[in-house]
Amino acid sequence: MKKALKITGKILIGILILLVSLIVILSAARLIGKAVNSRTPDGGINETLYADINGTKQWINIYGQDRNAPVLLYLHGGPGTATSWLDWSILRTLSEDYTIVDWDQRGFGHNYPEYAEETLPTAEMFMQDGLEMTDFLREHLGKDKITLLGHSWGSVYASNLALEYPEKYDAVIAMSLMVDMPESKETFKQYALEQSADDPELHALAEKLDPSVIVVDKEQEEILDRLDEAYNYTDDYFKDSDLNLFAALWFNPNCTLAEQMRGLGLSQEYTDYQLKLIGGSNCSTAFPMVQSLSIKDRTEYKMPYYVIMGTKDHGSIDTVEEAEAYFEKVSAPDKKFFYIEGGHVVPLLKSAVLKEYIHEIAQKQAE
């Protein structure tokens, strides 16, 4: 018996030593990796700061291999879904052509908790933030104009900025383009009706979907969830990405572990904060704000306009079909529609394809 206890004790001690060693090794690797990724390229820029924007501080990271390169401002989705906890490795692949500005919008991401908001910013506040951030970057980096790259909510945000202040932007790149919420939902409804032709239960649910309702009640929310699960392709971040996102997380030079926990949805406090601002699971605050910036009837751009969509993006807030229809109506000095195989998030997962498309756009801009 004593012998067995001694053996068990030795095994437990061995496991403990192994775990401690593993933690030490991983921690050391993280420190080294973060240090390497924090380096500034020769002749380039790598700067992190809180800019004074519209009465508050807002976090940005500026990274580029050539200080003289054109500037690209990335507008994340949501509203309220800052992705700096992960997107740095994806955005840096674009730094051969642009100086990349990764921006956590008002109250979210790095701006929490010190610069948190009590309520979701209004459309007017977002637009003023975008204008002031643009002017800050133009002065800070010595540029007359900058390029906008927006994903999801960020795409309609970028489009509005370009429509309102065309003299400040040389191009708009809209990924997973949101155009108009009721129209998106109508397109999604028709798609769901077609897909459910042989499924009476889901077909009946699709018939009950009311595209005119922006803030849905519990019944409509459940219908959307069921149909979205059945017919909208969901990207798997870690499976579908062509980058090692585990490494991107662990060696992120711009985030603490606590900040990454928030991004991963592992901080209940931050999740509750996000839900409070967007108006709960049915986005009762966020969706009306987004709809107020609908670009359905605004199609005249004074700069090149590019759209990048996932071929399987058939959601209730944006669809590839709706984006195609809007794009056909767009008038711009240059325009092109790019496709990537996948769903709503895929433009940020297939970095090699995104890099190729962005390079093509940069070459056009340089002509």
Spatial neighbors of 251 by CB under 8 A, at least 6 apart, are 29, 30, 33, 34, 36, 37
Percent of the chain with pLDDT over 90: 87
Sort 335 into a burial class: Cβ within 10 Å, 0-12 / 13-18 / 19+: middle
Position 20 scores a pLDDT of 73
Mean pLDDT of 44-53: 98
Position 24 scores a pLDDT of 72
Mean pLDDT of 271-285: 95
pLDDT digits (tens, 9 = 90+) for 128-180: 999 999 999 999 999 999 999 999 999 999 999 999 999 999 999 999 999 99
Examine the pLDDT at 261 and tell me if it is beyond 80. yes
Position 130 scores a pLDDT of 99
Mean pLDDT of 65-70: 97
Q: Does residue 33 share a domain with residue 7?
A: yes
pLDDT digits (tens, 9 = 90+) for 179-207: 999 999 999 999 999 999 999 999 999 99
Percent of the chain with pLDDT over 70: 97
Position 26 scores a pLDDT of 73
Q: How many residues does the chain have?
A: 367
Position 202 scores a pLDDT of 97
Mean pLDDT of 337-361: 97
Q: Does residue 19 share a domain with residue 79?
A: no
The answer to whether 220 touches 213, Cβ cutoff 8 Å, is yes
Position 6 scores a pLDDT of 65
Position 28 scores a pLDDT of 75
Q: Does residue 297 share a domain with residue 350?
A: yes
The answer to whether 116 touches 104, Cβ cutoff 8 Å, is no
Which run of H or E residues covers position 102?
strand 99-103
Q: Does residue 124 share a domain with residue 88?
A: yes
pLDDT digits (tens, 9 = 90+) for 2-37: 666 566 666 777 777 777 777 777 777 788 888 889
Q: Does residue 150 share a domain with residue 122?
A: yes
Kindly state the tokens that stand for 345.
């998030």
Is pTM, for the whole model, over 0.75? yes
Closest CA to 42 of 90, 82, 83, 95: 95
| Residue 26 lies in domain | 1-37
Position 1 scores a pLDDT of 58
- Domain membership of residue 197 (yes or no) is no
Closest CA to 308 of 279, 344, 284: 344
Kindly state the tokens that stand for 93.
């692949």
Examine the pLDDT at 57 and tell me if it is beyond 70. yes
Tell me the CATH number at 175: 3.40.50.1820
Q: Does residue 69 share a domain with residue 18?
A: no
First to last CA, the chain: 82
Examine the pLDDT at 289 and tell me if it is beyond 70. yes
Mean pLDDT of 249-254: 94
pLDDT digits (tens, 9 = 90+) for 68-90: 999 999 999 999 999 999 999 99
pLDDT digits (tens, 9 = 90+) for 295-326: 999 999 999 999 999 999 999 999 999 999 99
Q: Does residue 312 share a domain with residue 164?
A: yes
Rg from Cα positions in the chain: 23
The pLDDT confidence band at residue 50, using thresholds 50, 70 and 90, is: very high
Position 367 scores a pLDDT of 85
Examine the pLDDT at 278 and tell me if it is beyond 70. yes
Position 2 scores a pLDDT of 61
- Domain membership of residue 226 (yes or no) is no
Question: How many distinct structural domains can be found in the chain?
Answer: 2
Q: Does residue 133 share a domain with residue 53?
A: yes
Q: Does residue 317 share a domain with residue 265?
A: yes
pLDDT mean across residues, the chain: 94
